[in-house]
Structure 1
Amino acid sequence: MDCGFQRENGWFRYRAAAIIIENGCVLFAKNEIDDYYYSIGGGVHLGEKAEDAVKREVLEETGIEYEVERLVFIHENFFDGTGSLDGLKCHEVAFYFLMKPKGTQELNSNSYSQGVREYMHWLPIEKLKDYIAYPSFFAEKLLCIGDTIEHIVTCE
Structure 2
Amino acid sequence: MKYDCGFTKENKWFRYRAAAIIIEKDHILFAGNERENYYYSIGGGVHIGESAEEAVKREVLEETGVEYEVDRLAFIHENFFDGDGTLEGKECHEIAFYFLMKPRGTQELNSNSYTQGVKENMYWLPIDKLKEYRAYPTFFKEKLKNIKNEIEHIITYED
Under a length normalisation based on structure 1, what TM-score does the superposition of the two structures give? 0.99
Residue aligning to 1:5: 7
CA distance in 1, matches of 2:37, 2:52: 28
1:1-156 paired onto structure 2 within 5 Å: 1-156=3-158
Post-superposition, which runs of at least 4 consecutive aligned residues in structure 1 deviate over 4 A?
Answer: none
Distance in 2 between residues matched to 1:33 and 1:84, nearest whole Å? 8
Question: AA paired with 1:31?
Answer: N
Q: Which range moved further: 19-28 or 29-38?
A: 29-38
Return the offset for 1:83: 1.6
The TM-score, its normalising length taken from structure 2, stands at 0.97
Measured on the aligned residues, the alpha-carbon RMSD in Å equals 0.5
Q: What code does the residue aligned with 1:153 have?
A: I
Measured after TM superposition, the shift of residue 41 of structure 1 is: 0.1
1:75 alignment partner, SS class: strand
Q: Within 2, Cα distance between the matches of 1:55 and 1:3? A: 16
Deviation at 1:33, TM superposition (A): 1.5
